[in-house]
Chain A
Amino acid sequence: MADQNKPDTERKLFNEILSPSELFAARSRSHKIPIRGQKDFFPNDSDEQRQRLEQSLNEHWSLISEERVERLGNLVKAIWIPSDQIVELQSPAGKFWQTMGFSANGKQYVLPEEALYLMECGNLQVFYKDLPLSIQDGFERFLSSTTVSLQQYQVFGHLKRLGYVVHRFDPSCEPSSYARQLNLPQSRDRAGRQLKRKRSPSPTPTCSYTKLKEEPTSEKMEEDKCCLEGEEDKKLAASPETTDVQTATTSAADEGSGRTWWTTDVLGDSDKELHYSSTSRSSRWDFSSIPFPDLGSSERRPSCLAPPEPSLLPGDVTVGVCDVASWRKKINLRKVKMSAKEKSREKSNSRRRWSVNKDKEVRRCRNWAEYHELLARRQRRGKGRPAHLWNREVTPLHDPRQPIPTAELLDKISVIKSTHLLEGASRLKGSDEWRICFNVYQPDTVADFKKSNPGKPYSRMCVCSFDGPVPDLRVLKLLAFQSGDVPVVFAVVDHGDISFYTFKDFQLPTDVFP
């Protein structure tokens, strides 16, 4: 910075000792950034606003172009190692060491974003090729796609200034969901040693929007399908009929006919009947060829039965014809004794009731299974529920005559089922565009904070730009799953302003006490 008064800086560089008056002036200067409201930027094409904005901009410029005066003793010396994208401390670290930096091979290092923040705070002086770097140099050199982006640094700095402890997020250090289930104690390697060799991947900027646009949608569809499949499984368990419909529709969809969703149900029904008839043929037994000596229905039958086939008879029994007619006279010799009450009941019964076989539908039944089905169907129909609602393909969600608990009913009629954020997340593949950048720890834990054992973070930051796309459900699920039980916060950077958003799982309240 301070480019415009270059001779001045040069002079300062060689002559770093300030006179008391200069020092006093530097200390008593106001460091406050002029406050500006959001509305100040809303364009209204007035001269007044333009002037005001210009003035604000000038104030800003003058503030940041200002020389920083620091005590030499407070500055920690460090050198920038561009090959490793890291800053090595040359002199003993200050108080910041408690929350920042790491040591490896007996040397102390800070990450570029930490170095930059410390430079801004006036705690660190970074040399490169034996020359000190200005803060502007720091921004240019330290922030890159391999370290952290500007937006990420903005979030980092913002949080640091608020007092939070911010570390890079390393997904490999995260316990797997299985380990989480087991509640394993978190064993964390000394961060430094690990970082030296394979440093955690630096968060990449979230600016490749073009690619992002198609991929998540397709994958989202996949995921939706997954959900559907899950649903189908459930239905499969629930009732075979619905699955029938399901398969019918899918096969219809294969044929490519469009509006088969509603017609297939009917088709399936008729199919079923066809199926039945094919398995059971007409009737299982053809009683016209099985000669029972039936005395009742004798009028249509010959009065004599032919002798049965010897192979059907036990032992060496051989018999001749059987005269049925002579037995007919001897049937029912005993009188049926009935009381008067029984007689009257019998009478009314016989008037009211007719043969079940007069019914065409019963005649069409070929075995007990079909007959039972018919009876069940009739019973269902006969209970007087409105036919116009139940006869079509789309039926009401619940039959009001089947009492179920209210909670169950509410569950049954809820067309959109509530879902859990982590549902199905374990099956998702990782995405490159979205990743968690930082672990954030509460400011009040700083006093006993240990870098070697930072504990569970307060939250995790995912940095995204205001210009970029809004994270979709898939990303939410993925990041939430990756983060486990730590909430993921989306830090949305709108140039200088940072706003934080988070998505929380909650359950819709049900006012039912089962």
Chain B
Amino acid sequence: MATESVEKTSEDVPVAGKVSTRYDLEKETELRFEVEAGEAAEQLELELLTGMAEVFGSELNRNKKYTFGPGSKIAVFTWQGCSVNLYGKPEVAYVSKDTPMLLYLNTHAALEQMRKQAERDNERGPRVMVVGPTDVGKSTVCRLLLSYAVRVGRRPTLVELDVGQSGVSVPGTVSALCIERPADVEEGFSVQAPLVYHFGSTTPGTNIKLYNKLTSCLAEVFSQRCEVNRKASVGGCIINTCGWVKGSGYQALVHCASTFQVDVVLVLDHERLYNELKRDLPHFVRVVLLPKSGGVVERSKECRRDARDEKIREYFYGFRGVSFYPFSFEVRFSDVRIYKIGAPSIPDSCLPLGMSQDDTQLKLVPVTPGRDLTYHVLSVSSAEDGEEGARKGIVESPVCGFIVVTYVDTQAQVMKILSPAPRPLPRHTLLIMDIRFMDMK
């Protein structure tokens, strides 16, 4: 975090009315900058002038301007040394020598060694779980390791179990994504045909049973994919987890390690968690403690909520809200069936004999459409529109898309929805999320 060696050669050439700042980075240092958050904040542009640099594992092209929107927190790292230009006024910008990138790179090298061995022995590649408390850079480390893996020609899979801040789909889901090219410097990984399951809430604690169940589902699908796709099998997977590392959250981590049969657990900056996992996971699982980067910023609740909103907006309107044009149409109540997963818990004394509380957590509860449905995000389940018999598979069925209810007319028994595709809905089984989205912009 030491912010010395800022070699600011102030050339201050105004380009298109923006202030330009040039930074010359030494070998193995990084430039960290944040863009001011808020509506009125101006965007920042980054240009690589000489040398080579990367942003979270993705290499920068020389003389190309990368735009970063409000609220971005970016680190430009160079292995060899480089000089970059920043156009615009960052909230904060400094060069740090003190980065754990070398440790992360060594981690990647170790994983790559495992992949090589897997390729040679016709085995499956390493399955890595990244754990740690909130705000230690789990997602960034995942992105880094995935990008490095892709750059050496692997096809790893990203398993996103962070229901609060999903890097793949909208919040409230768990998902898996096959990574085929490095993350885009601005947009992140290109999301093509991800496998998404509905969870419905931003914290796994609301229904830990369902969370574990979905983890198992993902693990099973991933294993099936590994069986048919040799490349995916060798590439292994990198699992991003929630920042909840106590109590049930910890149990969920152990469960995840068990169902995915992970080989390596990367613990970020939490020694107690590291020791606990060493104790509770069998000896053949390598648990590795890694430091967090000094550049990681603690995000506030509001910041997280904004990020969630942004993610949903991105789902409907595309990156920066310019590339997609969603549809808005009305759906009759009678055409859809809306469910919520997990019945409210009942006191044990009220349960039938022999029933345990757990059974209710995976239950589908029909939701009567009403005015309170407004602004809720709904998942369109890919389960076939069957009768009662088909209801069983809904929980374990992946999601084919999301819609947002924008207006409910109880008189006419219709609701107006925001949908990425024109009518009709592909399926008529909808699962309600706790998450709301107001289409304000």
Q: Smallest Cβ distance from A400 to chain B, in angstroms? A: 15
B113 close to chain A: CB less than 8 A: yes
Identify the stretch in A122-130, A222-230, A310-318, A410-418 within 8 Å (CB) of chain B at 4 or more residues.
A310-318
B180 close to chain A: CB less than 8 A: no
Contact with A along B247-288 (1 / 0, CB 8 A): 100000000001001011001011110110011111110111
Q: Determine if A296 and B278 form an interchain contact, defined as CB atoms under 8 angstroms apart.
A: yes
- Among A290, A293, A338, A371, which residue has its beta carbon within 8 angstroms of that of B114? A290
A506 close to chain B: CB less than 8 A: no
B108 close to chain A: CB less than 8 A: yes
Q: Determine if A309 and B100 form an interchain contact, defined as CB atoms under 8 angstroms apart.
A: no
B93 close to chain A: CB less than 8 A: no
Q: Smallest Cβ distance from B27 to chain A, in angstroms? A: 9
- Among B112, B116, B258, B267, which residue has its beta carbon within 8 angstroms of that of A372? B258
Q: Smallest Cβ distance from B398 to chain A, in angstroms? A: 24
Measured in the bound complex, the distance between the Cα atoms of B291 and A293 in whole Å is 10
Q: Determine if B288 and A362 form an interchain contact, defined as CB atoms under 8 angstroms apart.
A: no
Chain B residues lying within 8 Å of A287, measured Cβ to Cβ, are 286
Given the known inter-chain contacts A332-B269, A342-B246, please indicate yes or no for A284 contacting B106, CB distance below 8 A.
no
Measured in the bound complex, the distance between the Cα atoms of B193 and A254 in whole Å is 55
B133 close to chain A: CB less than 8 A: yes
B103 close to chain A: CB less than 8 A: yes
Q: Which of B112, B246, B270, B291 has the largest number of chain A CB atoms within 10 A? A: B291
Given the known inter-chain contacts A324-B103, A355-B279, A368-B258, please indicate yes or no for A330 contacting B286, CB distance below 8 A.
no
> Chain A contact residues (Cβ within 8 angstroms of B): what range?
35 or more
Contact with A along B101-137 (1 / 0, CB 8 A): 0110111111011101100000100100000010000
Q: Determine if A367 and B279 form an interchain contact, defined as CB atoms under 8 angstroms apart.
A: no
- Among B114, B267, B279, which residue has its beta carbon within 8 angstroms of that of A353? B279
- Among A283, A309, A355, which residue has its beta carbon within 8 angstroms of that of B284? A283
Given the known inter-chain contacts A296-B275, A322-B102, A355-B279, please indicate yes or no for A285 contacting B114, CB distance below 8 A.
yes
Closest B residue to A308 using CB positions: B109
Q: Determine if A322 and B152 form an interchain contact, defined as CB atoms under 8 angstroms apart.
A: no
B56 close to chain A: CB less than 8 A: no
Measured in the bound complex, the distance between the Cα atoms of B236 and A284 in whole Å is 14
Measured in the bound complex, the distance between the Cα atoms of B291 and A294 in whole Å is 9
- Among B28, B80, B106, B263, which residue has its beta carbon within 8 angstroms of that of A308? B106
Q: Which of B109, B114, B147, B263 has the largest number of chain A CB atoms within 10 A? A: B109
A331 close to chain B: CB less than 8 A: yes
Chain B residues lying within 8 Å of A191, measured Cβ to Cβ, are none
- Among A292, A314, A372, which residue has its beta carbon within 8 angstroms of that of B151? A314
Measured in the bound complex, the distance between the Cα atoms of B356 and A382 in whole Å is 21
Q: Determine if A293 and B287 form an interchain contact, defined as CB atoms under 8 angstroms apart.
A: no
- Among A293, A332, A353, which residue has its beta carbon within 8 angstroms of that of B271? A332
Given the known inter-chain contacts A296-B287, A317-B79, please indicate yes or no for A284 contacting B123, CB distance below 8 A.
yes
Q: Determine if B289 and A295 form an interchain contact, defined as CB atoms under 8 angstroms apart.
A: yes
B290 close to chain A: CB less than 8 A: yes
Q: Determine if A293 and B279 form an interchain contact, defined as CB atoms under 8 angstroms apart.
A: no
A397 close to chain B: CB less than 8 A: no
- Among B59, B114, B278, B291, which residue has its beta carbon within 8 angstroms of that of A295? B291
A163 close to chain B: CB less than 8 A: no
A24 close to chain B: CB less than 8 A: no
Q: Determine if B105 and A294 form an interchain contact, defined as CB atoms under 8 angstroms apart.
A: no
Q: Determine if A313 and B278 form an interchain contact, defined as CB atoms under 8 angstroms apart.
A: no
> Chain B contact residues (Cβ within 8 angstroms of A): what range?
35 or more
Q: Determine if A356 and B108 form an interchain contact, defined as CB atoms under 8 angstroms apart.
A: no
B148 close to chain A: CB less than 8 A: yes
Q: Smallest Cβ distance from A1 to chain B, in angstroms? A: 80
- Among A309, A324, A330, A365, which residue has its beta carbon within 8 angstroms of that of B109? A309
Measured in the bound complex, the distance between the Cα atoms of B117 and A172 in whole Å is 71
Closest B residue to A330 using CB positions: B291
Closest B residue to A374 using CB positions: B282
- Among A313, A330, A367, which residue has its beta carbon within 8 angstroms of that of B108? A313
**A10-49 interface (Cβ within 8 A of B):** none
Closest B residue to A289 using CB positions: B113
Q: Smallest Cβ distance from A344 to chain B, in angstroms? A: 13
A366 close to chain B: CB less than 8 A: yes
Q: Smallest Cβ distance from A104 to chain B, in angstroms? A: 64
Q: Determine if B289 and A365 form an interchain contact, defined as CB atoms under 8 angstroms apart.
A: no
Measured in the bound complex, the distance between the Cα atoms of B281 and A355 in whole Å is 8
**A379-405 interface (Cβ within 8 A of B):** none
A340 close to chain B: CB less than 8 A: no
Chain B residues lying within 8 Å of A336, measured Cβ to Cβ, are 133, 270, 272
Chain B residues lying within 8 Å of A291, measured Cβ to Cβ, are 106, 109-110
Q: Determine if A367 and B100 form an interchain contact, defined as CB atoms under 8 angstroms apart.
A: no
Q: Smallest Cβ distance from B143 to chain A, in angstroms? A: 13
Q: Determine if A313 and B269 form an interchain contact, defined as CB atoms under 8 angstroms apart.
A: no
Q: Determine if B152 and A293 form an interchain contact, defined as CB atoms under 8 angstroms apart.
A: no
A96 close to chain B: CB less than 8 A: no
Q: Smallest Cβ distance from B50 to chain A, in angstroms? A: 15
A513 close to chain B: CB less than 8 A: no
Q: Which of B105, B267, B271 has the largest number of chain A CB atoms within 10 A? A: B105
A6 close to chain B: CB less than 8 A: no
Given the known inter-chain contacts A285-B263, A318-B79, A332-B269, please indicate yes or no for A312 contacting B279, CB distance below 8 A.
no
- Among B105, B114, B274, B281, which residue has its beta carbon within 8 angstroms of that of A296? B274
Measured in the bound complex, the distance between the Cα atoms of B398 and A19 in whole Å is 109
Ordered nearest first, which 10 A-B pairs have the shortest CB separation?
Answer: A308-B109, A314-B151, A296-B289, A368-B261, A312-B112, A355-B279, A312-B109, A293-B103, A294-B288, A295-B289
Sample (30) of A-B pairs whose CB atoms are under 8 Å apart: A284-B123, A285-B263, A290-B286, A294-B290, A296-B267, A296-B271, A296-B275, A296-B287, A296-B289, A308-B106, A309-B113, A312-B116, A312-B152, A313-B105, A317-B80, A318-B79, A319-B105, A322-B106, A324-B103, A327-B103, A333-B269, A336-B272, A345-B247, A355-B278, A356-B279, A365-B282, A365-B284, A368-B261, A368-B282, A369-B261
